Structure 1
Amino acid sequence: MVGRFFLGITEAALIPGVLMYIAMFYKRSEQAFRMALLQTFSSAAGAFGGLISGDIGHLDGTLNSQGWQWIFITESLPTMALAVAAWFLLTKSPESAPWLDQRETSITIYRIHNDTKIKVTREITKENVLAALKDSKGLRW
């Protein structure tokens, strides 16, 4: 139960985090396609994950392990490896992205700043939170 709790916490932050990352590196006109790919592959993973898990679950008795243990091993090891890689590869902004050279960083920053018509601040203040809570558009959702 504790594991499921922590899984829920991390999964809850995944999609908003990926959407924020897409917004940091792509213009608004390019974001919809990337977000559609994210949703498409998320749905495909759910569809095929069950089929694959069903087959893996039939490995009962292989190497003295139950089928559910094989599902846990085969699905958790790649996830943990990806989490470790993401820890080192994901950055706070395009300026600190190690996979972009100086020219690519400049182009990315230029494209995003020219695409944004509003002032973007990374600071969350009490006033911002209260304004968001009082906004009728947000309450209707």
Structure 2
Amino acid sequence: MTDTHSLNSWPQPYRLPDAEPYWSALSENRLTFQHCNECAQAVWPAHSFCTHCGSRSLDWRQSSGRGSVWSYSTIMRGPTPVWAAIVPYTVGFIQMDEGYFLFSQIDADPDAIAIGQRVEVRFVQRGEQKLPLFVPCDR
């Protein structure tokens, strides 16, 4: 299910400055997230302050890369030619084991995906940027 389309034709994500450590880690096949040192909550998307307690004491942590499918939708008609070339594809919210939600592609047969299903991260090169996508796992 992973793409083989021309790497140069993929639209690129909008990169907010607060999330630069996230994008840099992806280029090294690492998934990271912000963590608040005051209230110990995961903070995602990245911010300059904790969205739970307001603290500015944040650091970046390595994610396990594992979580559960919280919701998903299978796209049957791509919005642009590059996405139309790989339909059907599935996107969804993954509830990460660290307590945050990540919106991503799920690389599996759409009929084999279920709410609550365990998934783990893989990385795919899309244009100039590596991105996370998730695949089913047994754990």
TM-score range relative to shorter protein: under 0.3
The structure whose residues are more often helix, as a share, is 1
Instruction: Please identify the structure whose Cα radius of gyration is greater.
Output: 1
What TM-score do you get using the length of structure 2 for normalisation? 0.20
The structure whose residues are more often strand, as a share, is 2
